[in-house]
Structure 1
Amino acid sequence: MTTIDIGIKQEHRLAIAEGLKRLLADSYTLYLQTHNFHWNVTGPLFRELHLMFEEHYTELAVAVDDIAERIRTLDVVAPGTYKAFAELSSIREVDDVPSGEQMVDYLTKGHEQVVKTAREVLRLAQEGGDESTAALVSDRMRIHEKTAWMLRATRK
Protein backbone atom coordinates (compact mmCIF):
# COMPACT_ATOMS: atom_id res chain seq x y z
CA MET A 1 0.00 0.00 0.00
CA THR A 2 1.27 3.47 -0.79
CA THR A 3 1.15 6.40 1.58
CA ILE A 4 -1.49 9.05 1.07
CA ASP A 5 -0.32 12.38 -0.33
CA ILE A 6 -3.29 14.62 -1.19
CA GLY A 7 -1.84 17.90 0.07
CA ILE A 8 -3.36 17.77 3.55
CA LYS A 9 -1.06 17.34 6.52
CA GLN A 10 -1.54 14.09 8.43
CA GLU A 11 -2.58 15.80 11.66
CA HIS A 12 -5.25 17.75 9.77
CA ARG A 13 -6.45 14.65 7.91
CA LEU A 14 -6.84 12.76 11.18
CA ALA A 15 -8.63 15.63 12.95
CA ILE A 16 -10.97 16.14 10.00
CA ALA A 17 -11.70 12.40 9.83
CA GLU A 18 -12.53 12.34 13.55
CA GLY A 19 -14.99 15.19 13.00
CA LEU A 20 -16.46 13.38 10.02
CA LYS A 21 -16.92 10.28 12.18
CA ARG A 22 -19.11 12.34 14.53
CA LEU A 23 -21.03 13.75 11.54
CA LEU A 24 -21.49 10.22 10.19
CA ALA A 25 -22.76 8.99 13.55
CA ASP A 26 -25.20 11.90 13.88
CA SER A 27 -26.41 11.40 10.32
CA TYR A 28 -26.85 7.66 10.71
CA THR A 29 -28.66 8.03 14.02
CA LEU A 30 -30.96 10.60 12.41
CA TYR A 31 -31.48 8.23 9.46
CA LEU A 32 -32.56 5.42 11.80
CA GLN A 33 -34.82 7.71 13.80
CA THR A 34 -36.44 9.07 10.65
CA HIS A 35 -36.98 5.59 9.22
CA ASN A 36 -38.46 4.41 12.53
CA PHE A 37 -40.84 7.36 12.60
CA HIS A 38 -41.80 6.72 8.96
CA TRP A 39 -42.85 3.19 9.90
CA ASN A 40 -44.68 4.14 13.08
CA VAL A 41 -46.34 7.51 12.50
CA THR A 42 -50.11 7.62 13.02
CA GLY A 43 -52.76 10.30 13.30
CA PRO A 44 -54.38 12.94 11.14
CA LEU A 45 -51.06 13.92 9.51
CA PHE A 46 -50.15 10.30 8.72
CA ARG A 47 -49.90 10.55 4.94
CA GLU A 48 -48.06 13.87 4.88
CA LEU A 49 -45.55 12.84 7.55
CA HIS A 50 -45.13 9.28 6.25
CA LEU A 51 -44.19 10.58 2.80
CA MET A 52 -42.01 13.40 4.13
CA PHE A 53 -40.09 11.07 6.45
CA GLU A 54 -39.49 8.73 3.50
CA GLU A 55 -37.99 11.59 1.49
CA HIS A 56 -35.78 12.47 4.44
CA TYR A 57 -34.45 8.99 5.19
CA THR A 58 -33.82 8.33 1.50
CA GLU A 59 -31.70 11.48 1.29
CA LEU A 60 -29.89 10.56 4.53
CA ALA A 61 -29.04 7.09 3.18
CA VAL A 62 -27.05 8.70 0.37
CA ALA A 63 -25.49 11.21 2.78
CA VAL A 64 -24.09 8.60 5.16
CA ASP A 65 -22.42 6.86 2.23
CA ASP A 66 -20.88 10.14 1.03
CA ILE A 67 -19.58 10.96 4.51
CA ALA A 68 -18.17 7.46 5.08
CA GLU A 69 -16.45 7.51 1.70
CA ARG A 70 -14.87 10.88 2.50
CA ILE A 71 -13.48 9.41 5.73
CA ARG A 72 -11.99 6.56 3.69
CA THR A 73 -10.61 9.04 1.16
CA LEU A 74 -8.71 10.61 4.06
CA ASP A 75 -7.26 7.12 4.72
CA VAL A 76 -9.11 6.55 7.99
CA VAL A 77 -11.45 3.65 8.79
CA ALA A 78 -15.10 4.72 8.90
CA PRO A 79 -17.17 3.55 11.88
CA GLY A 80 -19.97 1.21 10.94
CA THR A 81 -21.51 -0.36 14.03
CA TYR A 82 -24.43 0.65 16.22
CA LYS A 83 -22.04 0.67 19.18
CA ALA A 84 -19.63 3.07 17.47
CA PHE A 85 -22.44 5.33 16.29
CA ALA A 86 -23.99 5.41 19.79
CA GLU A 87 -20.63 6.44 21.28
CA LEU A 88 -19.99 9.13 18.65
CA SER A 89 -23.46 10.58 18.09
CA SER A 90 -24.81 13.73 19.72
CA ILE A 91 -28.36 12.63 18.86
CA ARG A 92 -30.06 10.45 21.44
CA GLU A 93 -32.38 7.66 20.47
CA VAL A 94 -36.11 7.80 21.22
CA ASP A 95 -37.28 4.64 22.97
CA ASP A 96 -41.04 5.04 22.65
CA VAL A 97 -43.35 5.87 19.75
CA PRO A 98 -44.16 9.58 20.07
CA SER A 99 -47.06 11.35 18.44
CA GLY A 100 -46.63 12.68 14.91
CA GLU A 101 -46.14 16.19 16.26
CA GLN A 102 -43.49 14.98 18.72
CA MET A 103 -41.77 13.10 15.90
CA VAL A 104 -41.52 16.35 13.98
CA ASP A 105 -40.03 18.04 17.06
CA TYR A 106 -37.46 15.27 17.58
CA LEU A 107 -36.45 15.31 13.94
CA THR A 108 -36.20 19.10 13.89
CA LYS A 109 -33.79 18.97 16.82
CA GLY A 110 -31.90 16.13 15.13
CA HIS A 111 -31.41 18.09 11.92
CA GLU A 112 -30.33 21.15 13.90
CA GLN A 113 -27.79 19.00 15.79
CA VAL A 114 -26.36 17.69 12.52
CA VAL A 115 -25.92 21.31 11.41
CA LYS A 116 -24.01 22.09 14.62
CA THR A 117 -21.77 19.06 14.19
CA ALA A 118 -21.20 19.96 10.55
CA ARG A 119 -20.14 23.49 11.56
CA GLU A 120 -17.44 22.00 13.78
CA VAL A 121 -16.20 19.78 10.94
CA LEU A 122 -16.30 22.70 8.50
CA ARG A 123 -13.98 24.66 10.79
CA LEU A 124 -11.54 21.71 10.92
CA ALA A 125 -11.66 21.33 7.13
CA GLN A 126 -11.01 25.03 6.60
CA GLU A 127 -8.10 25.01 9.06
CA GLY A 128 -6.61 21.99 7.27
CA GLY A 129 -7.07 23.37 3.76
CA ASP A 130 -9.44 20.51 2.87
CA GLU A 131 -11.77 22.04 0.31
CA SER A 132 -13.34 18.70 -0.60
CA THR A 133 -14.52 18.05 2.95
CA ALA A 134 -15.55 21.70 3.32
CA ALA A 135 -17.73 21.42 0.20
CA LEU A 136 -19.32 18.17 1.36
CA VAL A 137 -20.01 19.49 4.85
CA SER A 138 -21.29 22.83 3.57
CA ASP A 139 -23.76 21.00 1.31
CA ARG A 140 -24.88 18.85 4.25
CA MET A 141 -25.43 21.95 6.40
CA ARG A 142 -27.61 23.55 3.72
CA ILE A 143 -29.75 20.42 3.37
CA HIS A 144 -30.22 19.98 7.14
CA GLU A 145 -30.98 23.67 7.70
CA LYS A 146 -33.66 23.53 4.99
CA THR A 147 -35.09 20.27 6.33
CA ALA A 148 -35.29 21.69 9.87
CA TRP A 149 -37.08 24.75 8.50
CA MET A 150 -39.59 22.59 6.63
CA LEU A 151 -40.21 20.46 9.72
CA ARG A 152 -40.70 23.58 11.88
CA ALA A 153 -43.15 24.92 9.28
CA THR A 154 -45.42 21.89 9.80
CA ARG A 155 -45.80 22.85 13.48
CA LYS A 156 -47.04 26.42 12.91
Structure 2
Amino acid sequence: MNRIGLVNEEVKELSVQLNDLLANYQIFYMNVRGFHWNIKGDKFFELHVKFEELYNDILLKVDEIAERVLTLGESPVHSYTSYISSSEIQEVVGATDANTTVGTILDGLEVLIKKQRVLLDLSDRYGDEGTNALMSDYIREQEKLVWMYTAFMG
Protein backbone atom coordinates (compact mmCIF):
# COMPACT_ATOMS: atom_id res chain seq x y z
CA MET A 1 0.00 0.00 0.00
CA ASN A 2 1.12 3.54 -0.69
CA ARG A 3 0.59 6.55 1.59
CA ILE A 4 -2.87 7.30 0.17
CA GLY A 5 -4.08 3.76 0.79
CA LEU A 6 -3.89 2.30 -2.71
CA VAL A 7 -2.17 -0.93 -3.76
CA ASN A 8 1.16 -0.17 -5.47
CA GLU A 9 0.61 -2.59 -8.39
CA GLU A 10 -2.84 -1.13 -9.04
CA VAL A 11 -1.42 2.41 -8.89
CA LYS A 12 1.09 1.50 -11.61
CA GLU A 13 -1.73 0.30 -13.88
CA LEU A 14 -3.75 3.46 -13.20
CA SER A 15 -0.69 5.61 -13.90
CA VAL A 16 -0.05 3.91 -17.24
CA GLN A 17 -3.65 4.67 -18.26
CA LEU A 18 -3.43 8.24 -16.95
CA ASN A 19 -0.20 8.83 -18.87
CA ASP A 20 -1.87 7.52 -22.02
CA LEU A 21 -4.74 9.94 -21.41
CA LEU A 22 -2.23 12.74 -20.79
CA ALA A 23 -0.56 12.08 -24.16
CA ASN A 24 -3.91 12.23 -25.93
CA TYR A 25 -4.85 15.44 -24.15
CA GLN A 26 -1.56 17.08 -25.14
CA ILE A 27 -2.04 16.33 -28.84
CA PHE A 28 -5.70 17.35 -28.61
CA TYR A 29 -4.63 20.62 -26.97
CA MET A 30 -2.17 21.44 -29.76
CA ASN A 31 -4.79 20.65 -32.40
CA VAL A 32 -7.37 22.93 -30.78
CA ARG A 33 -4.77 25.66 -30.27
CA GLY A 34 -3.91 25.46 -33.96
CA PHE A 35 -7.58 25.59 -34.92
CA HIS A 36 -7.96 28.74 -32.80
CA TRP A 37 -5.05 30.40 -34.58
CA ASN A 38 -5.97 29.30 -38.11
CA ILE A 39 -9.76 29.20 -38.36
CA LYS A 40 -11.10 31.05 -41.41
CA GLY A 41 -14.48 31.69 -42.95
CA ASP A 42 -17.87 32.95 -41.90
CA LYS A 43 -17.72 31.13 -38.54
CA PHE A 44 -14.37 32.70 -37.57
CA PHE A 45 -15.58 34.95 -34.75
CA GLU A 46 -17.77 32.28 -33.17
CA LEU A 47 -15.23 29.45 -33.37
CA HIS A 48 -12.15 31.51 -32.53
CA VAL A 49 -13.69 32.23 -29.11
CA LYS A 50 -15.03 28.68 -28.58
CA PHE A 51 -11.66 27.14 -29.43
CA GLU A 52 -9.93 29.42 -26.93
CA GLU A 53 -12.39 28.36 -24.22
CA LEU A 54 -11.76 24.72 -25.11
CA TYR A 55 -7.96 24.86 -25.18
CA ASN A 56 -7.89 26.72 -21.85
CA ASP A 57 -10.04 23.98 -20.33
CA ILE A 58 -7.85 21.25 -21.86
CA LEU A 59 -4.74 22.88 -20.42
CA LEU A 60 -6.26 22.75 -16.92
CA LYS A 61 -7.09 19.08 -17.41
CA VAL A 62 -3.54 18.33 -18.60
CA ASP A 63 -2.22 19.75 -15.34
CA GLU A 64 -4.79 17.87 -13.24
CA ILE A 65 -3.97 14.56 -14.93
CA ALA A 66 -0.21 15.04 -14.50
CA GLU A 67 -0.69 16.01 -10.85
CA ARG A 68 -2.92 12.97 -10.32
CA VAL A 69 -0.12 10.72 -11.61
CA LEU A 70 2.23 12.44 -9.15
CA THR A 71 -0.30 12.06 -6.33
CA LEU A 72 -0.36 8.33 -7.04
CA GLY A 73 3.42 8.31 -6.62
CA GLU A 74 4.38 7.88 -10.26
CA SER A 75 5.85 10.22 -12.91
CA PRO A 76 3.84 11.91 -15.64
CA VAL A 77 5.10 11.58 -19.19
CA HIS A 78 6.42 14.96 -20.30
CA SER A 79 7.93 14.78 -23.77
CA TYR A 80 6.20 15.46 -27.05
CA THR A 81 8.09 12.52 -28.56
CA SER A 82 6.30 10.26 -26.08
CA TYR A 83 2.98 11.98 -26.65
CA ILE A 84 3.14 11.63 -30.41
CA SER A 85 4.25 8.01 -30.32
CA SER A 86 1.51 6.90 -27.91
CA SER A 87 -1.47 9.15 -28.63
CA GLU A 88 -4.45 7.74 -30.47
CA ILE A 89 -5.37 11.33 -31.33
CA GLN A 90 -3.21 12.39 -34.24
CA GLU A 91 -1.77 15.80 -35.05
CA VAL A 92 -3.85 17.81 -37.49
CA VAL A 93 -2.02 20.37 -39.60
CA GLY A 94 -3.51 22.89 -41.99
CA ALA A 95 -7.17 22.66 -40.96
CA THR A 96 -8.81 26.07 -41.34
CA ASP A 97 -12.52 25.49 -42.02
CA ALA A 98 -15.35 25.04 -39.55
CA ASN A 99 -16.41 21.53 -40.59
CA THR A 100 -12.91 20.05 -40.48
CA THR A 101 -11.95 21.66 -37.19
CA VAL A 102 -15.19 20.91 -35.37
CA GLY A 103 -15.29 17.39 -36.82
CA THR A 104 -11.75 16.80 -35.58
CA ILE A 105 -12.70 18.10 -32.13
CA LEU A 106 -15.65 15.69 -32.03
CA ASP A 107 -13.34 12.82 -33.02
CA GLY A 108 -10.90 13.81 -30.28
CA LEU A 109 -13.62 14.06 -27.65
CA GLU A 110 -14.80 10.59 -28.61
CA VAL A 111 -11.31 9.18 -27.98
CA LEU A 112 -10.96 11.04 -24.67
CA ILE A 113 -14.36 9.94 -23.39
CA LYS A 114 -13.61 6.32 -24.27
CA LYS A 115 -10.28 6.42 -22.44
CA GLN A 116 -11.81 8.20 -19.45
CA ARG A 117 -14.53 5.54 -19.19
CA VAL A 118 -11.79 2.88 -18.99
CA LEU A 119 -10.12 4.88 -16.21
CA LEU A 120 -13.47 5.40 -14.48
CA ASP A 121 -14.04 1.63 -14.34
CA LEU A 122 -10.45 0.90 -13.32
CA SER A 123 -10.36 3.55 -10.60
CA ASP A 124 -13.69 2.30 -9.25
CA ARG A 125 -12.39 -1.27 -9.13
CA TYR A 126 -9.24 -0.16 -7.27
CA GLY A 127 -10.96 2.24 -4.87
CA ASP A 128 -9.21 5.30 -6.30
CA GLU A 129 -11.82 7.96 -5.61
CA GLY A 130 -9.56 10.84 -6.69
CA THR A 131 -9.09 9.53 -10.22
CA ASN A 132 -12.69 8.37 -10.34
CA ALA A 133 -14.01 11.84 -9.48
CA LEU A 134 -11.82 13.50 -12.13
CA MET A 135 -12.92 11.09 -14.85
CA SER A 136 -16.57 11.40 -13.90
CA ASP A 137 -16.39 15.20 -14.08
CA TYR A 138 -14.51 15.16 -17.40
CA ILE A 139 -16.98 12.74 -19.00
CA ARG A 140 -19.98 14.78 -17.89
CA GLU A 141 -18.49 18.01 -19.26
CA GLN A 142 -17.39 16.45 -22.53
CA GLU A 143 -20.68 14.68 -23.22
CA LYS A 144 -22.27 18.14 -23.21
CA LEU A 145 -19.55 19.44 -25.54
CA VAL A 146 -20.24 16.56 -27.93
CA TRP A 147 -23.91 17.49 -27.99
CA MET A 148 -23.12 21.18 -28.58
CA TYR A 149 -20.49 20.66 -31.30
CA THR A 150 -22.73 18.09 -32.99
CA ALA A 151 -25.59 20.60 -32.97
CA PHE A 152 -23.23 23.18 -34.51
CA MET A 153 -22.46 20.73 -37.33
CA GLY A 154 -26.17 20.39 -38.03
Query: How high is the TM-score relative to the length of structure 1?
Result: 0.94
| Structure 1, unaligned runs of 5 or more | none
Q: Residues of 1 paired with 2:127 and 2:57: CA distance? A: 27
Q: Residues of 1 paired with 2:86 and 2:62: CA distance? A: 14
Cα shift at 1:4: 3.4
- The residue type equivalent to 2:142 in the other structure is H
**Which residue matches 2:138?**
140
Contact 1:17 1:76 in 2 (8 A): yes
- The residue type equivalent to 2:3 in the other structure is D
Task: Give the length in aligned residue pairs.
Answer: 154
**Which residue matches 1:29?**
27
Q: Percent identity at matched positions?
A: 36
Matching of residues 49-128 of structure 1 within 5 Å: 49-128=47-126
**1:42 and 2:32 aligned:** no
Contact 1:21 1:79 in 2 (8 A): yes
Between 1:87-96 and 1:7-16, the stretch displaced more is 87-96
Cα shift at 1:87: 2.1
Cα shift at 1:142: 1.3
Q: Residues of 2 paired with 1:35 and 1:105: CA distance? A: 15
Contact 2:40 2:96 in 1 (8 A): no
> Which portions of structure 1, spanning 4 or more consecutive aligned residues, are displaced by more than 6 angstroms?
none
Between 1:85-94 and 1:10-19, the stretch displaced more is 85-94
Cα shift at 1:98: 4.2
Between 1:111-120 and 1:82-91, the stretch displaced more is 82-91
Q: Residues of 2 paired with 1:145 and 1:83: CA distance? A: 29
**Which residue matches 1:8?**
6
- Aligned partner (choices 127, 130, 135) of residue 128 of structure 2: 130
RMSD over aligned CA atoms reads 1.2
Q: Residues of 2 paired with 1:88 and 1:143: CA distance? A: 24
Contact 1:109 1:148 in 2 (8 A): no
Cα shift at 1:111: 0.8
Query: How high is the TM-score relative to the length of structure 2?
Result: 0.95
